Amino acid sequence: MKAFPANLGAEPSGSELEQRFNRFLYGRADPNPQERYKTVLRQVGLRPTRQRMILAQLLFAGESRHVTAEMLFEEAIKMGTPLSLATVYNTLNQFTEAGLLSQVGVDGAKAFFDTNPSEHHHFFVENEGVLFDIPGAEAVVDRLPEAPVGFDIVRVSVVVRLRRKRS
C-alpha cells in the first residue's frame, strides 16, 4: 500500500482537506481543482481517468466526509454521470490502497470510506447508519496489546456504536 504523501499533513478537518491539497500542490488557493486532482492521482500512481476525476471531485471538493459506495454512486447518478456501482467500488478501493482514503468497517457487509486517511476513531449511530469522527482530543485507547510474534500492529481503528436514547 502506498502511503499518503506526508507533506499533505496529518489531520485535516472539514474544509481543511481542500486546503491541504491546495497547499501541497500550489502553496495557495487553487483556481483549477481539476488539475489538482490530476496531479494528486498521478502522484499516488493512478491514471486520472474520467471516472476517477469525477469521483475525486465528489469526494474531495468540500468537507471531510464518510461515504459508502452506494452513497457515492447515488451522488454521481444525480449529477448525471453514468457510472456503474462496480466502478465506484473499484475506484474507492484504489483510492484507499493509494492512501487517499481510509476504509472503516461498521458491519460485516457495510463499509464507509473516510476522506481523512489519518488515524482517528469514529462514532457509528446504529439504526441511522451515520458515521462521524470522535473529536481528536478524546483518548479512546490508552494501551495496546503486544502484537503476536512475527506481526506488527499496522493500524488501530475504533468504532464506538451509539443508539439514541428513548425519551
Rounded Cα gap, residues 112 and 54, in angstroms: 19
Task: Tell me which residue of 35, 42, 74, 78 sits closest to 57, measured CA to CA.
Answer: 35
What's the confidence (pLDDT) of residue 50?
92
Q: Compute CA distances 6 → 11, 44, 46, whole Å.
A: 11, 12, 18
What's the confidence (pLDDT) of residue 72?
95
Q: Reply yes or no on domain 1-167 having CATH 1.10.10.10.
A: yes
Q: Where are the domains of the chain?
A: 1-167
* Residue 67 CB neighbour total at 10 angstroms: 21
Residue in this structure with the C-alpha cell 493500524, named with its chain if needed: 155
User: Mean pLDDT of residues grouped by 10 in the chain (167 residues)?
Assistant: 36 48 51 82 93 92 88 93 94 94 84 88 87 74 86 84 86
Residue 10: alpha-carbon gap to chain centroid: 13
Q: Which residues contact 55 (CB under 8 A, 6 or more apart)?
A: 72, 76, 83, 88, 91, 92, 95
Task: Name 125's bridge partners.
Answer: 130, 162
Among left, alpha and beta (phi > 0; psi -120 to 50; other), residue 16 is alpha
Entry pTM: 0.74
